[in-house]
Amino acid sequence: MKLDQLVRPNILNLKPYSSARDEFKGEASVYLDANENPYNLPLNRYPDPLQWKVKEKIAAIKKIDPHWIFLGNGSDEPIDLAYRVFCEPAVDNVVAIDPTYGMYRVAAGVNNVEYRKVLLNDRFDFSADDLLRATDQHTKLIFLCSPNNPTGNSLDRDQMIKTVENFSGIVIVDEAYINFSSQLSLLGELEHYSNLLVFQTFSKAWGSAAVRLGMAFAVPEIIALLNKVKYPYNVNRLTQDYALQMLAKSDHVAEWVKILLQERTRLQNMLAAAPFVEKVYPTDANFLLVKVSDANALYGKLIKKGIVVRNRHTLSLCGNCLRITVGTPFENDALIAALYKV
Ligand SMILES: *Cc1c(COP(=O)(O)O)cnc(C)c1O
């Protein structure tokens, strides 16, 4: 299917806002074009609307062309923009695996778009055929998340590719936890599939949840649509500067990931032997989904000891499950000690 036929007509016809920084690009000695205050350098100036310096650094690390990158205010922004670009409220729908990350459903609700859930199997995996069967001519987006939150596992790569190949809309693969995974990112598949949209984030392995920087990767035609709808200066100067500092320290990130993966294995083993723990599910992320005898009770007892985990008891397939983030060795020991004392 042609991309134009997937896009909402109002977005296709939209003439986007053109900022001062859009109309003049390049270096000048005197800037009198944006009604900025000439004092209070450097934050007096509007930031680069398309964040080229940051994108060039990301492009080098991810081995991708900068024109294939969108940057937003966390992953929340490209999730919402995908709805606003492709889904006509009260007409179109999206399909997602269940259970998965809650923001896909919330953004559907905000945009008044029907959200169709397809239950994962008992290994928390899916089949492309089941997912595609839930689609109809009004399905614009399919949401996959790999490694999946809250289950922790990576989805079957062949089934993800099969979904992309057989769906005439956009397939979003959220790779927020990809740095912790033994599986290869789908970034390398983008050049083969013009309907694939991959999300990553600075919030997890990059240790920068507070700065709010999300990445989306796709063919330039999709990136251009996201850029058309975003707020003109959606990523502020402080975030862009901070991201450049972090991108220069990618060896730190590799070191953190290495430690967290060691701690993940240690925590897996200790939890498996702990009282009340019935099952520790396999994980490819920086958290563990753990089935316990009574999740609500254990959650409450841990809170009383000052330890907060995520109670996922009410989610599909997650009855009596807690989601536990891998912390520092000290934090993980504190969790285990608390479990033995409750
Ligand atoms: C944590 C997480 C994100 C990150 O969201 P940000 O808005 O970038 O902080 C995205 N997707 C999933 C599945 C997550 O668990």
Nearest atom in ligand 1 to 203's CA: 9
- pTM greater than the 0.85 cutoff: yes
- Separation of 254 CA from ligand 1 center, angstroms? 19
- Separation of 199 CA from ligand 1 center, angstroms? 9
Going by pLDDT thresholds of 50, 70 and 90, the confidence category of residue 212 is very high
- What is the DSSP annotation of 43-57? TTSPPPTT-HHHHHH
Residue in 177, 198, 203 to alter for ligand 1 test, most ligand atoms within 8 A of Cβ: 203
- Whether the CB-CB separation of 206 and 249 falls below 8 Å is answered with no
CA angle 51, 72, 205 (to 5 degrees): 100
- Whether the CB-CB separation of 203 and 179 falls below 8 Å is answered with no
- Separation of 321 CA from ligand 1 center, angstroms? 20
Please return the burial class of 79, using the count of CB atoms within 10 Å of its CB with bins 0-12, 13-18 and 19+: buried
Query: How much helix, strand and coil, in percent to the nearest 5, is found in the chain?
Result: 40, 15, 45
- Kindly report, residue by residue over 49-64, the tens digit of the pLDDT: 999 999 999 999 999 9
Protein residue closest via CA to atom 14 of ligand 1:
176
- Kindly report, residue by residue over 79-96, the tens digit of the pLDDT: 999 999 999 999 999 999
- Ligand 1: residues whose CB is within 6 Å? 74-76, 101, 145, 149, 174, 176, 201, 203-204, 209, 214
Protein residue closest via CA to atom 5 of ligand 1:
75
- Whether the CB-CB separation of 327 and 283 falls below 8 Å is answered with no
- Kindly report, residue by residue over 255-302, the tens digit of the pLDDT: 999 999 999 999 999 999 998 999 999 999 999 999 999 999 999 999
pLDDT over 90 for what percent of the chain?
95
pLDDT over 70 for what percent of the chain?
99
Identify the pLDDT of residue 200: 98
- Kindly report, residue by residue over 155-188, the tens digit of the pLDDT: 999 999 999 999 999 999 999 999 999 999 999 9
- Kindly report, residue by residue over 11-63, the tens digit of the pLDDT: 999 999 988 888 888 889 999 999 999 999 999 999 999 999 999 999 999 99
- Whether the CB-CB separation of 55 and 71 falls below 8 Å is answered with yes
